[in-house]
Amino acid sequence: MPNINTILNWHGEEQKKNIKDKLNRNMEKACLLVERDAKINAPVDTGRLRASITHRIEKDDEDIVGIVGTNVVYASYQEFGTIHMPAHPFLFPALESNKGKIKELLKE
C-alpha cells in the first residue's frame, strides 16, 4: 500500500495580522470621513474650533476604537447649546451622515 502524506501549513497568525492591518486602515478612513464633515459643519468665528478637530485611533489586543473630537473648551457648548444659546451641532451630524459609509468600510 502506497504512503500518502499531506503537509498542511496554517497561516492563521499571518491572516490575523492582515485582517488587523486592514481594519486599522479602514478605521483611519472612517475617522477621516467624520473629521472632514465635522470641520465642514463646525460654526466658524475665528476658525479655532474647526482647526482643532482631529482624530486618533486607540487599540489593544481586542478592540480598535476611532475617536474624532476637539480639545476646545467651548466645543460642547456649540454641539449641545446652553440656556443662553442654541446648539450648533457639528460632530454628531458628521457621524450620522457617514454611518453607511463607515459600516461598509468596517465590513470589508
Q: Give the integer Cα–Cα distance in Å for 23 and 46.
A: 36
The string of pLDDT tens digits covering residues 12-36 is 777 778 888 899 999 999 999 999 9
pTM beyond 0.85: the answer is: no
Which pLDDT score is estimated for 4? Answer: 67
Q: How many CB atoms lie within 10 A of CB 70?
A: 23
Length of the chain: 108
Q: How many CB atoms lie within 10 A of CB 27?
A: 20
Which pLDDT score is estimated for 83? Answer: 96
72-81 contact pairs (CB < 8 A, 24+): 72/48, 74/49, 75/49, 78/42, 78/43, 78/49
What are the residue boundaries of the structural domains of the chain, listed by start? Answer: 12-107
